Amino acid sequence: MSSRVRRALVGITAAVIAFLGVGQPASAHGFSSVVYVHVTGGDGGRIRTVLELEYDLFVVSAADFEHDDPLFQVGTAAFEAEDAKAQAAALESHTESAFAYVTKRFSVGSGGTACTPSRAGDFTIGRQEGVPYAVMPLEWSCAKQGDPEVRSALFPDSEGYVRGTRTIATYDLAGLSGSAALDAGHPSFSIGQSGYERFWEFFRLGAEHLLTGVDHILFLLALIAGSRRLREIVLAATSFTLAHSVTFLLAALGLVHVPERIVEPVIALSIAVVAGWHLWRLPRRGDDRAALHDTAGDGPLGLDRAGWLRLGVVFCFGLVHGLGFAGALGIDEPWSWTLLWSLLVFNVGIEAVQLGIIVLVFPLLALLRRRAPRAGAWATGTLCAGVAAMGLVWCVQRVLEG
């Protein structure tokens, strides 16, 4: 196969992957919502919950559930005007619709019996990740004593925008405190659940996030394709892990905040830069077999100047990816050891999947490079070209969408 044909194949592959990328949501973390629930009390058969729901989705869903057109009109007008007082007033004036919607999809039980809900205060408006959230306090009267159970099926609804919802619950009642993560596959939890069950919830949430976060997977594939020796991918993955772990924890604990409109385009750009870095270093002419022969550098850890520069770039972009992980989890709460434990377990789930991808993909590419160096060079070049193209497409989309 001539070099001209090979270059044409690389270009076609890159164009196809970029075209497919246009059909994907520009934000890999979009089309989902996070509900926050704080559960307290437990004395005298009464449990208090404070729900925080994304305001615009809440208004649309509640209005549709009760066929309440005035709530939709008043609520969306207040949302577009960015008027927090008007937003709270819209919900207060249509309390029945809002209350009916929430209590149909969110419930508290005790001793195997459903508790009876009632309002415990007025609506207020808060913000999470720059988005208005409706704060709704409820009190639940429980006829039986037992381990309290929380169940949530809030969102998505017929609005057709939200693909899924995570409910992050923190609780402090009956002498127990902790946190739990709920979604469509796991819609409930018991306050008396074991430590193993709590660990598995956040581990699974982290693993699922990386598996469904196409941009993070592409970034990892670009790192793998650009690494010729096991030491290189280990150092690159370690650098990426350390960086995103730092910002992930800081952002999730509310100590650092960077707007999503900045984070998401930079994540997309990082994909293109890392993939483009490898393309730039691919030999354009000469003996591919010699070019693929990796010699260790003279510096520390066997890296030359280019190798250390690559690690620095990966580390910097890892810091940005950590902000994306934190935004996806949606926790922005005051410091607590329970919360820190949950965040660490979520991160362990991310790392487990990341390691699995490396173990699966890197040996295959390494074997191909060793057995057929020219084919290996073109395979990795084609992969990087496609990844770089998709990263650029996403970057442009995310900038334009703000």
Q: Give the model confidence (pLDDT) of 330-363 as tens digits.
A: 555 555 666 677 778 888 888 888 889 888 888 8
- The burial of 391, by beta-carbon neighbours within 10 Å (0-12 exposed, 13-18 middle, 19 or more buried), is given as buried
Average pLDDT of span 377-389: 82
Helix axes 230-252, 214-225, angle to 10 degrees: 150
Sign of CA dihedral 341, 342, 343, 347: positive
CB 47 within 8 A of CB 173: yes
Closest alpha carbon to 147 in 61, 236, 42, 49: 42
Q: Which residues contact 284 (CB under 8 A, 6 or more apart)?
A: none
Q: What is the average pLDDT score of the chain?
A: 79
Predicted local confidence at residue 330, as pLDDT: 56
Element (H, E) at 134: strand 131-141
**Tokens linked to 156:** 């998505």
* Entry pTM: 0.62
Average pLDDT of span 72-88: 92
Closest alpha carbon to 349 in 219, 222, 237, 199: 199
Amino acid at 209: H
Reply yes or no on whether the pLDDT at 85 is more than 90: yes
pLDDT band at 29 (very low <50, low <70, confident <90, very high): very low
pLDDT band at 103 (very low <50, low <70, confident <90, very high): very high
End-to-end CA distance of the chain: 44
Predicted local confidence at residue 287, as pLDDT: 37
**Tokens linked to 215:** 């941009």
**Among the listed ranges 14-28, 41-55, 169-183, 275-289, which one has the minimum average pLDDT value?**
14-28
Query: What gap in Å lies between CA 157 and CA 155, rounded to an integer?
Result: 5
* DSSP state string for 72-98: HHHHHHHHHHT-HHHHHHHHHTTHHHH
Query: What gap in Å lies between CA 63 and CA 343, rounded to an integer?
Result: 35
